[in-house]
């Protein structure tokens, strides 16, 4: 019998769904002057959902519990950072961001392909709306359009693959779909097709084309909502697929994708002139590193993967919030428009530097330890681990890409810290409120803490087992 992902009332999905509807209602009922309440209601929803997720294990996937909690936490932090922005309608913003959280939560806990696909779609649809948030901007419109088209194709191909999978095995459940013997080529093709949606969310190389344009066109805070939590959730799904459907050559395929992603991302990032584009390519490179960690599964790589996700999430969220606070009124992310950020807002620029250096992987920040863990897993030669030359080459690629990627991050630092302020220094940017500062403080603490706490990965590994 086909069995879908179990549903229980006390799940974070329920909480997020009810909260989403409540926010919608509140948006309709409340007077204009009290609109901000909806934003706080959304933050509260995310906080409660996070608490529930922490205490509710994901059935059949211990890794899913912390991953799901982290994804919801990221969503909550994004909401917390943007509670006080008058020019947006809060209802739509909060609903869409919460929906991404709901989708992420579903994706991370999905045990069958239908739920997985619905979760991916739930993350994508609000993404389309948020990417086109700045309607007046031509570039944003183009980015939104690209996003919708690419996303639509990826989603259709995923669905196509899932239908083949069902046709071939009569099952939609991850675990049950695995036949006893070796996989037939058709089944492998179907599996590959059905994971395209995951690759798209992870921005792994053949599915990455949309990311730079979308990141450039959308407001930085919307990018933070669209990019980080879905990546965490998609990674949880990847882990579940790999543990339930182990097939020979998975490590080769993953390491190959990782090498290509790392290589293309670091070199392309070098020639960009927009901070958010650079971060988009950074995301592509980090997705490659994550796939490399996944290629080391099974083994102790669960903790390494989880640590990488947390480190990447904290630094990336912090960087996007900083960029959002620093960006000028027209929302441009161009490096030239960052000039003189240091003189205008030294504290936020210093934090931005911290996050970028963590992304670059400099010790003693979280990004360094994340890289360390992945390398340790890739090079490990304990008994029972077969020799995997591809994974070792992936580790070499990860290392070689490090200084080049650091160079790209330095372009942002150069613009924000080293460049002279333009003659008219009266350029306005957002005034950070308590919520945004709290988010930055949390991200900074996580970036330092996850870097200095060297045993984080093994602790997380015990949790994810």
- Interaction site with other proteins (CB under 8 A): 1-7, 13, 17, 20-21, 24, 89, 92, 95-96, 99, 102, 106, 112, 114-115, 118-119, 121-122, 125-126, 128-129, 132-133, 135-136, 357, 362-364, 368, 371-372, 375-376, 379-382, 389, 392-393, 395-396, 399-400, 402-403, 406-407, 410, 413-414, 417-419, 454-455, 457-458
C-beta of residue 260 within 8 angstroms of C-beta of residue 132 = no
Distance, CA of 273 to CA of 284 (rounded, Å) = 17
At closest approach, how far in Å is the CB of 400 from other proteins?
Answer: 7
Q: Which is closer to other proteins, CB of 114 or CB of 442?
A: 114
At closest approach, how far in Å is the CB of 199 from other proteins?
Answer: 21
At closest approach, how far in Å is the CB of 364 from other proteins?
Answer: 5
Question: Concatenated DSSP letters for 161-186?
Answer: HHHHHHHHHS--BTTTT--SSPPPHH
The DSSP element (H or E) to which 452 belongs, if any, is helix 434-452
C-beta of residue 345 within 8 angstroms of C-beta of residue 288 = no
At closest approach, how far in Å is the CB of 130 from other proteins?
Answer: 9
Q: Which is closer to other proteins, CB of 1 or CB of 180?
A: 1
Question: Concatenated DSSP letters for 272-329?
Answer: --BHHHHHHHHHHHHHHHHHHHHHT-SSTHHHHHHHHHHHHHHHHHHHHHHHHHHSBT
Q: Which is closer to other proteins, CB of 147 or CB of 208?
A: 147
C-beta of residue 172 within 8 angstroms of C-beta of residue 110 = no
Q: Which is closer to other proteins, CB of 24 or CB of 438?
A: 24
CB atoms within 10 A of CB 256: 17
Q: Which is closer to other proteins, CB of 69 or CB of 115?
A: 115
Q: Which is closer to other proteins, CB of 64 or CB of 119?
A: 119
Q: Which is closer to other proteins, CB of 208 or CB of 268?
A: 268
Q: Which is closer to other proteins, CB of 418 or CB of 434?
A: 418
Q: Tell me how many degrees the CA angle 247-249-251 measures, rounded to the nearest 5.
A: 100
Q: Which is closer to other proteins, CB of 32 or CB of 136?
A: 136
At closest approach, how far in Å is the CB of 144 from other proteins?
Answer: 9
At closest approach, how far in Å is the CB of 54 from other proteins?
Answer: 20
Say which residues have a Cβ less than 8 Å from residue 237's Cβ, sequence separation at least 6.
107, 108, 110, 116, 119, 198
* CB burial readout 361-378, b (16+ within 10 A) else e: bbeebbbbbbbbbbbebb
- 464: which DSSP letter? T
The CA-atom distances, in angstroms, between 165 and each of 113, 173, 195 are: 9, 10, 11
3 state SS of 44: helix
3 state SS of 67: helix
The CA-atom distances, in angstroms, between 280 and each of 254, 291, 355, 438, 440 are: 20, 17, 15, 24, 20
At closest approach, how far in Å is the CB of 317 from other proteins?
Answer: 21
**DSSP bridge pairs for 331:** none
The CA-atom distances, in angstroms, between 90 and each of 97, 175, 330, 363, 373 are: 10, 41, 20, 39, 40
At closest approach, how far in Å is the CB of 414 from other proteins?
Answer: 5
Q: Which is closer to other proteins, CB of 126 or CB of 199?
A: 126
3 state SS of 159: helix
Distance, CA of 82 to CA of 35 (rounded, Å) = 13
Q: Which is closer to other proteins, CB of 227 or CB of 358?
A: 358
At closest approach, how far in Å is the CB of 426 from other proteins?
Answer: 21
At closest approach, how far in Å is the CB of 1 from other proteins?
Answer: 8
At closest approach, how far in Å is the CB of 369 from other proteins?
Answer: 10
Q: Which is closer to other proteins, CB of 74 or CB of 172?
A: 172
Spell out the alpha helix ranges (H) of 414-433.
none
Distance, CA of 251 to CA of 261 (rounded, Å) = 15
């Amino acid at each position: 019998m086909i069995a879908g992902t179990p549903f229980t009332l006390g799940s974070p999905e329920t909480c997020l769904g009810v909260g989403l509807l409540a926010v919608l209602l509140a948006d309709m009922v409340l007077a204009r002057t009290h609109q901000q309440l909806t934003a706080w209601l959304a933050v509260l929803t995310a906080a409660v959902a996070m608490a529930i997720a922490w205490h509710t294990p994901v059935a059949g996937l211990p890794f899913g519990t912390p991953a799901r909690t982290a994804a919801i936490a990221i969503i909550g932090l994004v909401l917390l950072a943007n509670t006080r922005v008058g020019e947006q309608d809060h209802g739509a913003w909060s609903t869409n961001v919460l929906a991404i959280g709901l989708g992420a939560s579903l994706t991370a806990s999905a045990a069958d392909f239908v739920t997985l696909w619905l979760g991916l779609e739930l993350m994508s649809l609000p993404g389309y709306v948020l990417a086109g948030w700045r309607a007046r901007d031509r570039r944003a419109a183009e980015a939104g359009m690209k996003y919708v088209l690419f996303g639509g194709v990826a989603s259709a191909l995923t669905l196509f693959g899932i239908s083949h999978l069902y046709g071939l095995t009569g099952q939609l459940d991850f675990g049950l779909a695995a036949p006893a013997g070796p996989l037939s080529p058709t089944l492998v093709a179907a599996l590959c097709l059905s994971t395209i949606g995951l690759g798209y969310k992870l921005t792994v190389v053949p599915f990455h084309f949309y990311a730079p344009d979308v990141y450039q066109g959308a407001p930085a805070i919307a990018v933070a909502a669209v990019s980080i939590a879905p990546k965490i959730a998609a990674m949880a799904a990847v882990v579940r697929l790999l543990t339930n459907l182990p097939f020979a050559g998975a490590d080769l395929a993953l390491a190959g994708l990782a090498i290509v992603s790392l290589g293309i991302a670091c070199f392309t990032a070098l020639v960009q002139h927009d901070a958010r584009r650079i971060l988009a390519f950074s995301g592509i490179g980090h997705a490659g590193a994550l796939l490399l960690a996944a290629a080391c599964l099974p083994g102790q790589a669960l903790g390494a993967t989880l640590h990488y996700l947390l480190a990447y999430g904290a630094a990336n969220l912090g960087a996007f919030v900083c960029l959002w606070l620093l960006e000028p009124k027209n929302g441009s992310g161009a490096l030239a428009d960052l000039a003189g950020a240091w003189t205008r807002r030294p504290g936020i620029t210093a934090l931005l530097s911290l996050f970028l250096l963590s992304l670059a992987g400099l010790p003693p920040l979280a990004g360094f330890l994340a890289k360390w863990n992945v390398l340790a897993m890739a090079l490990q030669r304990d008994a029972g681990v077969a020799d995997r030359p591809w994974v070792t080459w992936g580790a070499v690629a990860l290392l070689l890409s490090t200084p080049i990627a650091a160079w790209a991050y330095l372009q942002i630092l150069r613009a924000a810290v080293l460049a002279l302020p333009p003659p008219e220094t009266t350029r306005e940017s957002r005034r950070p409120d308590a919520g945004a500062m709290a988010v930055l403080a949390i991200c900074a603490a996580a970036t330092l803490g996850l870097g200095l706490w060297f045993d984080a990965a093994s602790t997380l590994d015990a949790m994810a087992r």
